[in-house]
Structure 1
């Protein structure tokens, strides 16, 4: 039997869900594999390692942790309980021993994975420059600002690039666990484990879970007024010159100011506003998709469904059902 040594880094404030969730799913996968093959082909030896004998994780629960010894096949860095506008510099400065351990472990050739905002620790340790990465959608803009050299794909559920795995928000720890099961025990074992634990097997994007209002950063005053103007006129046809006249500027000036403030065009802002309104209507009413399509300014349901799917990651009917 092959033994895979996995170190899960415990540190002050990290999320207990991610510590135990990963270990439990891997343990269940080994049991299922043993039933299917007579004995498990891989033993997942998951060890909680840290630099304090007892670590106060999220919720104040204190967990024992042992200092890392020897080599590991994988180091996993969980996320921590944070809020928008979190004081990342203060938090990360207090984790200097953990950051040094992450950097040293990776430099020795050990793959490293993060869950949720654990990506901030990997970024601070210098692992993410030039790599395709993801993190929790709620903190994506803060992450992009702090680590501009990382190639952030904010909608992705799990990405692997050059020995570094990053995952999306909190429960993506289970996507990571199934990813490891599939890699080391095969797709059939991963499917069987997902069935036994009631876990989804095909999540590739966190876009369907994004709350646009929670994800949005405060817009500069001009673009904020434009968004409000669009919100009260979603069903009206788009006319750049009409919008420009409403704000007493030229069409060229309108385009330039919005691009500078948001990175988008006025039309893209309008499309996003229409999709966001459609999401709210799909969740809060029993209106047909066709009626909602017209309500937000589109006559062709198929065209709007494609636009919706590009923004949200799934078509309107699937979004409503989920």
Structure 2
């Protein structure tokens, strides 16, 4: 008796909910939707011409639904108004955009006003949805309790506030995209496109993700926020012993590091100095000096025409390759690349 070859079941269509709420950022909400739609069109075109997955059928295009928990139109940041639908059923992925934050001290009130959204995020996660967030959306996930004991990132500008509010979260502030199980978090606003490329690679493969990046003039997915960090824009850190040590070191960037001299300036022993700095920062005075030197070098690379060698000397190094290795370790790219990209 002849048997009919079994066929694999068709892949399930991925349903993605885009959560709109008052004050959220439209770019983060709709940027991902636009990129996924364009990627689907490119995947189909590539499949018709050269094939994308070695003869395998393309997955069905995801269904994206703009949803909100409040009746009526939703006013986004900037006053733009959308009319989302109500959520229904189970979603394979929930996207939580970040919010506009006019004043840092208003954050607690904004989060309190979004308690209903936090409950919805918890329900989606409990039903098995992948939950992805951009920028300050990580605050909503943390408020919902999803990030306790988990790795996550957020906008580098608000990382100190996040770390202070959620010490139970393993914050990886310099990472641009962090995936911990079914939770994805990304950095500042434009990282929504890195998140989108990450999801496109999952859906359609690396070739489609690469082609989408080229067509839309995006860089390949970035790995770090470090090249974009400008410490001058961060809110002032509260006064502390470690901050005083760093201030003393910053005033003497070009001078050789001398632990005994530093300890004497604060009228304590070297051992006590090391212990107190480590207690407050988890680091060492030398690491604080290295961070300060790299931060100053970043300013000089973008703000002056001095050569790299001149800048390296100005921050206390004689050997350019040695400093370049330190710079790459802390910033994620070489001084030359940092200057080229920044300009």
Fold match, TM over 0.5? yes
State the Cα deviation string for residues 253-280 of structure 1 (Å, max 9, x = none): 4334433444432222211111111111
> Which residue of 42, 52, 65 corresponds with 1:47?
65
Q: Normalising to structure 2: TM-score of the pair?
A: 0.88
The offset of 1:113, in angstroms, is 0.7
Deviations 1:112-165 (A, max 9, x none): 111111011111111111211111111112112222222111111111112111
Deviation of 1:86 (Å):
3.8
Give the length in aligned residue pairs.
322
Aligned to 2:256: 237
- Taking structure 1 as reference, are residues 199 and 276 closer, same or farther at Cα in structure 2, changes over 3 Å only? same
2:133 matched to 1:123?
A: no
Instruction: Name the residue aligned to 1:64.
Output: 83
- 2:13 is aligned with 1:3: yes
Partner of 1:3: helix, strand, or coil?
coil
Following the alignment from structure 2 to structure 1, what is the Cα–Cα distance between the partners of residues 168 and 267?
38
- 2:38 is aligned to 28
Alignment of 1:263-278 (within 5 A): 263-278=282-297
Q: CA deviation at 1:26?
A: 0.9
Matches within 5 A, 1:101-140: 101-140=120-159
Q: In structure 1, the residue corresponding to 2:184 is in which secondary structure?
A: strand
Paired with 2:335 and 2:74, the residues of 1 have a C-alpha distance of 44
The answer to whether the aligner puts 1:17 opposite 2:24 as a matched pair is no
Q: Supply the distance in 1 between the matched residues of 2:69 and 2:112 (Cα, whole angstroms).
A: 15
What residue number does 1:167 align with?
186
C-alpha distance in 1 between matches for 2:165 and 2:266 = 34
Distance in 2, Cα, partners of 1:209 & 1:34:
35
Judge conservation of contact 1:84–1:138 (CA < 8 Å) in 2.
no
In 2, Cα distance between equivalents of 1:116 and 1:86: 17
> 1:307 maps to what in 2?
326
Over alpha carbons, which structure has the higher Rg? 2
CA distance in 1, matches of 2:330, 2:234: 13
Moved more, 260-269 or 281-290: 260-269
| Structure 1 residue 107, shift from structure 2 partner | 0.4
CA RMSD of aligned residues (A): 1.9
Instruction: Indicate conservation of the 8 Å contact 1:111/1:164, yes or no.
Output: yes
Instruction: Report whether the alignment pairs 1:196 with 2:206.
Output: no
Matches within 5 A, 1:82-101: 82-83=101-102, 85-101=104-120
Structure 2 contact 29–95 (Cα < 8 Å) conserved: no
Find the residue that maps to 2:61 and give its secondary structure: strand
Contact 2:69 2:86 in 1 (8 A): yes
Question: How far, CA to CA, are the matches of 1:255 and 1:217 in structure 2?
Answer: 23
